[in-house]
C-alpha cells in the first residue's frame, strides 16, 4: 500500500504542475513563441502547433520525473 501512495502523490503533483502551467502559460514570455513553433493565420482560420515548445516541455517533465523516481527508489 505504501508504494501506491507514493505513485498517487507523484501523479497528483504532476497534475497540479500541469494545471498551474496551463493557468499561467500566458505569463511565461517564451511559451509557444519559440522558433520552430508553427503558426498559420488566414482569413477566418488560424492553426497553432507549438512543436518546439512541446519538445522542451517534454524534456523538462522527463528530467523532473526521473529525479523524483530516483529519490523514491532509494
Residue the block writes with cell 502559460: 25
CA distance linking residue 9 with residue 46, whole number of Å: 38
Count of the separate structural domains present in the chain? 1
Q: Is the pLDDT of residue 62 over 90?
A: yes
pLDDT reported for residue 59? 94
Mean pLDDT of 49-67: 88
Interhelix angle 2-23/51-73, nearest 10 degrees: 150
Q: Is the pLDDT of residue 2 over 80?
A: no
CA distance linking residue 6 with residue 59, whole number of Å: 22
Grid cell for residue 28: 511565461
Q: According to DSSP H, which parts of 24-74 are helical?
A: 51-73
Q: For residue range 11-46, what is the model confidence (pLDDT) as tens digits?
A: 898 899 888 877 877 776 766 678 888 888 999 998
**By residue range, what is the domain housing residue 29?**
2-73
Amino acid at each position: 500500500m505504501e508504494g501506491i501512495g507514493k505513485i498517487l502523490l507523484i501523479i497528483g503533483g504532476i497534475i497540479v504542475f500541469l494545471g498551474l502551467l496551463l493557468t499561467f502559460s500566458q505569463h511565461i514570455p517564451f511559451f509557444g513563441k519559440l522558433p520552430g513553433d508553427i503558426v498559420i493565420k488566414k482569413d477566418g482560420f488560424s492553426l497553432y502547433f507549438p512543436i518546439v515548445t512541446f519538445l522542451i516541455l517534454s524534456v523538462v517533465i522527463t528530467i523532473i520525473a526521473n529525479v523524483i523516481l530516483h529519490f523514491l527508489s532509494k
